[in-house]
Structure 1
Amino acid sequence: MIALLGCGVVLLSACGSMPVTGDIKAVDASQPGDSQVQVYAVAPRENATPGEVVDGFLESMTSDDPGFRTTRKYLTKEASRTWKPSAFTTVLSKAPNRSPRPVRDSDRSSTELTFTLTGDKVATVDAQSAYQPVVPTDFNRSLHLVRQNGSKEWRIDLVPDGLLLGQSDFKRLYRSVNKYYFAAGPATDQSTLVADPVYVRNRTDPITGMDTVTQTVRSLVEGPTNWLRPVVDSRFPTGTALRKGVTALAPDDRNVLKVPLNKKADGVGQRSCRMMASQVLYTVRDLTSARVEQVELQRSDGSSLCVLGSDQAEEFAPDGSSGGPDSQYFVDDEGHVQRIPGSTKGSGDPEPVAGPFGNGPVRMSTVGVARDEQLAAAVSQDSASLYVASVVSAGELPRPAVISRAKKSEDRLSAPSWDGRGDLWVADRNPNDRRLLRLAGGTGEPSNVRVPDLGGARIEALRLSADGVRIALLLTEDGHTTLKIGRIERQGGPDTRQDVSVVELRKAAPQLADVTAMSWSGRSRLVVVGKEQDGVQQVRYVQADGSAPASGVLPGANQVSSIAAADDEQLPLMADTEDDGIVKLSPGDNWQTVLKKGSSLVYPG
């Protein structure tokens, strides 16, 4: 392998002498996290050994080889014709190990050979570019080689579809992007944009020849991932695609991104077109070096279909539900709810909220505040009763909205959480009557939410996403607490008669054996507190699809018991700690103590 570091280029060569016997070896074509390295595949040398052929094939999969043409030279003609590298990608913790396994038939031992590829599988990426993490699992696949008729050249004739990459190469080759679709449901909800994270290729995709922006727009137009599809809508008409031959999209010198579409979009009305353009704008605005300020969608003949500027797209903003700078709220040592003004970024003087939570007779333990900061829900100190009241006007404490009958306080109500639609959620952890409850509008009658995949697990904590279509759950089972994300499906009208369920739970932090606290942090990201197996407590970011960003680990804090983040990712993280009280972490800074006394600090939601 020859590395031209000054040019950011790596050439991979299979012409070195590589043994086919002895210890198993790992093949890793790149340094971890080096996203600027560009890798070029090299064809097999003449009379390459079977081990060199296998190594060259694995290495070339990590390259930017157009159409994987060079990669296919390690295959027989038939295998090259049928191999589908774009079918899916398997991600291993490290580059695969390989070991030869000779065939038992002595008559074929000189013309056939099988190599076993092993490793720890941590994720797959499907044909929709959706990332699906798994608890590290033993991976075992085979490559079968044959000596070509009439020559001494070894080639692979049996190869699984898809790509096989170590985690470091995957992070170098791919990047996470958010596509945006509208929340499905009642008309009042259909202007809410929902992030749908996928992974696209850095630079140019070897299969399509498209740059990163074009890959992302193409994926957006093709529709949402299967997991999110039941709860979102796209304004692009079925069959809409980029105009044939489009492989590069970039904003012009006025930061306008022009997107040519096919005939399926020619007849779209102006309102629908503006919504389509908003989907594109929020999807691509952070992908280019120059921030996209305007999107122009074009008909199949090149004429303008509609134009939407960033100021006009504000009505569809994914994080526009809070309506202003988010304050922080916490429970003081007297059991009353206090507020730190939003404009201070956690540095202001706390003040009691208006109403019964600020000076009422019942001591509270946890609080959740609606995103419009008008109502709050608080759980009593014994965790038995949930109250809902105004935090902006005076009034008497109402009767409890929910009561848990569990004998022990730790088996009673969880901390409450509000979704972006104004509904209030809480879990009753009573072993004899476990329930996930939703109060429509925060004041409706509690209704049971079905969670078919829950099994024997118990909900310890919950947080609702701002878009109202996803819920993060801390679930305890068999002595471990894990983080899972569920999809919220609603049937019926926009009122209390809705039938609501949480379905298709999927792990969001499989690398952590135990998660003790979590909070949504932006559109499709969470901040979590947890431990790896036999590890120490850590604070880190995870994506809603379960992937972990390369820079996801945050500075540690002492004994964090809860954590809070805002819809706006630029606002500081806040955490409850045993030794330092309530602390905050601003971008680029270290943890700083905000309050020595107090607990259950939250942002609205």
Structure 2
Amino acid sequence: MSFSPMPSAEPAPSPHASIGLTAVRGPGQFARLLALVLGAALALAGCSSIPTVGPVGTASAQRGDEQQEEAVFSPEGPAAGATAQETIRGFMEAGKGAADDYSVARQFLSPGMAETWSPAQRATVYRSSRVVATPDPNLFQIQLEVQSTVDIQGIRIEAPAGSTESIPVQAEKVDGEWRLTAVPDGIMLSLASFPAVFMAHNLYFYSSDYEYWVPDTRWFIRRAGIAANIVNAVLVGPAPHLQGAVVSAFPSGTELARDAVPVASGEATVDLAADSLSDATDLNRQQMTAQLQQNLRSLNNITSVAMTEGGHSVDLGKGNGEVRSAIADPSAGATQIVVYQGELAFYGDGPTAVEGVPSVAGYGPRSPATSADGATIAFLDSQEDTLLVTGKGQEVRVAAEGARFTAPSVDPKQWVWTTQPSGSGTAVLAIPPGGNRDAAAVLSAPWLEGLGVTELRVSRDGTRVLVAAAQGGNSSVMIAGIVRSAEGVPVSLTTPATLQVPAEAGAVDRVKWASEDTVVAVRTGAQESVPVILGPGREAQLLAPKEGILGLSAGNGTEDVFIQTDAGIFNKVGSSWALRSEGVRDPAFPG
């Protein structure tokens, strides 16, 4: 499962067709091809075609499955006497073979086209395809049911269900054989082939305080040289939804001295261009080395990383090895906070009282949240229009009042987050430690216009928010970055990336982090619901259905998932739900 663009209120024209057209190479070919496509559009219904519907497959490409070995495919080159449509189909199939810079795929192109075609620009992943002839004997269309696309930076964007794309292709006889003389940059892969050709890999950037590693899932072709591709992507910077929310130790414009990261006896040597580090402090260089190690160490042939500059060793300076390591995938612990017999309680093997906290029974507490250290506890009253905060040795105080609030979330810096309706959209509130509504940061997020947020959860690294939102009967699950000031005050949310939710899961309204890059979502209500596990580096995983799900929580990984019904709390056991406790409600892991 991967990120998709934020849906707009109005249906937007598909970006795919425009990319397919504008990427056509060759003098005057684009104008001619576009005119021919428009002229032929009305006649396509009666044209011949070669329909081919590829098998729809799913495969997980999680971090634990990463392989350094090159995926070896040996696609066949052009067959003598092949028709134009067969040549186009052969070119599509040859997109699986990246060896020697796609030398086999280039055999299907005219000499001039083979010189200019750029396969790395884009990968289009399709569920089904067919090649359609037009009245012009040299013009064809590749019609795709698109599942996703991967851009040159490895960012995978899933297309909404039912998305299609028509790609114009021009073919002519060259020395008596059909060859493609105009075709868009990029390759086309069936959904079944995609996980064998590409692998998911998390890039890592620092949180703004350099305390946490923040994942940025990308997709890379399984072939030799992947380490250099990963380093280049790190040097370019984070994906759009993380820009401004994370930082890199490498200054903008840093480049490799050469497009390679050689590996010898398990040590990868990252050689930066000369003078790249001229302004870097000892601490900067140490942070750069740590970032390279974090990004490369999961490759199975790399055990250590050496950073050089212009071929010379880099002096990491004083305190080398003493720089504090950032935290990756912080643990949620084993204890949840719940409501039990009208009071706040901690829940591990069973409910236990929260020591040092006054009674809250008079508020009818709902949807509690706690910080990782338990110092801050936030909850809503029974009407969900008052946000309250307490903690060990603290009185209960009103943090905010107003319209209906969503369940609170507490970030690592003890800020309490919630949302409430505002005008035609939603306001995001972040209340500082010890503060109230008057001191709250009201975050700028224009993309929330027209959306009703049903849940917002801050990531355990404090850099991102996970949002479930509804609009016109439909729902979205989105991840946005948190932009903070130099003092750590939340300022705004970045334009989000969207996780596509399978239709079987319905209009989900509850979402929880299960790890640094995996989330769980569910639709609550009296009807049978199907919880689903989502993530940018994995295919969606539907869990066992359950009637009357009222709550959801997730701890450390996809097996540490809990749901609540009127009967009590259930935890995930394999493909089933097992009753864990009765009389407990609103479970939530820290965060």
TM-score range, shorter chain: 0.7 to 0.9
User: 1:260 maps to which residue?
Assistant: 271
| CA positional deviation for 1:74 | 0.7
Q: What is residue 241 of structure 1 aligned with on the other side?
A: 255
Cα shift at 1:433: 8.9
User: Of the candidates 40, 44, 49, which is equivalent to residue 78 of structure 2?
Assistant: 44
Counterpart residue type for residue 197 of structure 1: T
Counterpart for residue 229 of structure 2: 215
Give how far 1:141 is off: 1.3
Instruction: Tell me, in whole angstroms, the C-alpha distance in 2 between the residues paired with 1:311 and 1:595.
Output: 47
What's the CA shift for 1:29?
9.1
* Structure 1 residue 238, shift from structure 2 partner: 3.6
The one-letter code sitting in structure 2 at the alignment partner of 1:54 is I
Residue 344 of structure 2: aligned partner: 337
The 1:432/1:523 distance shift into structure 2, 3 A limit, reads closer
Q: Tell me, in whole angstroms, the C-alpha distance in 1 between the residues paired with 2:317 and 2:343.
A: 50
C-alpha offsets along residues 170-224 of structure 1, whole Å, 9 cap, x if unaligned? 222112211111233xxxx2333221111111233xxxxx1x3332233223322
Pick from 544, 550, 561: which aligns with 1:561? 550
Shift of residue 518, structure 1, vs aligned partner: 1.1
CA shift digits 1:328-354 (9 cap, x unpaired) = 11112x2211112xxxxx4x2321112
Q: Distance in 2 between matches of 1:426 and 1:375?
A: 15
Q: Secondary structure at the match of 1:70?
A: helix
Query: Pick from 140, 153, 167: which aligns with 1:115?
Result: 140
Question: 1:573, 1:584 within 8 Å by CA — same for their partners in 2?
Answer: yes
Closer, same or farther: CA 34–529 of 1 in aligned 2, 3 Å: closer
Alignment of 1:445-594 (within 5 A): 445-491=439-485, 493-495=487-489, 500-512=491-503, 514-530=507-523, 537-543=529-535, 547=536, 549-550=538-539, 552-566=541-555, 568-569=556-557, 572-579=560-567, 581-585=568-572, 590-594=576-580
Shift in alpha-carbon separation, 1:276–1:52, aligned structure 2, 3 A: same
Q: 1:163 to 1:420 in 2, by over 3 A?
A: farther
| Number of the residue aligned with 2:182 | 158
Matched, 1:177 2:171: no
* Distance change (3 Å), C-alpha of 1:310 and 1:138: farther
Q: Deviations over 1:495-525 (max 9, x none)?
A: 5xx6x22231332225445213211122222
Q: 1:228 aligns with which of 218, 242, 246?
A: 242
Find the counterpart in structure 2 of residue 5 from structure 1.
none
Q: SS of the counterpart of 2:283?
A: helix
Instruction: Measure, in 2, the Cα distance between the counterparts of 1:370 and 1:33.
Output: 35
* CA spacing shift, 1:432–1:275, aligned 2, 3 Å: closer
Report what 1:145 is aligned to. Answer: 171
CA RMSD of aligned residues (A): 3.3
Amino acid in the other structure paired with 1:482: S
Higher relative contact order, structure no. (Cα contacts within 8 Å, ≥ 6 residues apart): 2
Distance 1:448 1:597, change over 3 A: same
Residue type of the alignment partner of 2:429: L
Equivalent pair of 1:385/1:402 in contact (CA under 8 Å)? yes
1:65 has 2:99 as partner = yes
Name whichever of 242-251 and 441-450 sits farther off: 242-251
Partner secondary structure for residue 168 of structure 1 = coil
| Unmatched runs of 5 consecutive residues or more in structure 2 | 1-45, 62-66
Match of 2:150 in 1: 125
Give the match for residue 107 of structure 1. Answer: none
| Secondary structure of the corresponding residue to residue 515 of structure 2 | coil
For residue 399 of structure 2, what is the aligned residue in structure 1? 401
Identity %: 21
Deviates more, 1:235-244 or 1:63-72: 235-244
Give per-residue Cα distances to partners, 1:567-599, cap 9 Å, x unaligned: x438722222344x212236x675332212212
- Which of the numbers 394, 397, 411 marks the counterpart of 1:419? 411
Amino acid of the structure 2 residue aligned with 1:283: N
Structure-2 change in CA distance of 1:474 and 1:31 (3 Å):
closer
Q: Contact 1:295–1:307 (CA<8 Å) still a contact in 2?
A: no
> Aligned partners of 1:357, 1:250: CA distance in 2, in Å?
61
| TM-score (norm. length: structure 1) | 0.79
CA distance in 2, matches of 1:502, 1:574: 29
- Name the residue aligned to 2:288: 276
CA distance in 2: counterparts of 1:228 and 1:508, whole angstroms: 15
Say if 1:88 and 1:127, in contact at 8 Å, map to a contact too: yes
Q: How many residues align?
A: 530
Q: 1:385-411, CA deviations, whole angstroms, 9 ceiling, x for partnerless residues?
A: 111110xx244322x11112x4xxxxx
2:305 aligns to what? 295
Unpaired runs of 5+ residues, structure 1, are 1-19, 104-111, 205-209, 341-345, 407-411
Structure 2 residue identity aligned to 1:216:
I
Call closer, same or farther: CA 1:173–1:560 in 2, change over 3 Å: farther
The answer to whether the 8 Å contact 1:585/1:592 transfers is yes
Describe the shift of the 1:551–1:481 C-alpha distance in structure 2 as closer, same or farther (beyond 3 A): closer
Q: Deviations over 1:305-327 (max 9, x none)?
A: 4499999676311345x6x8352
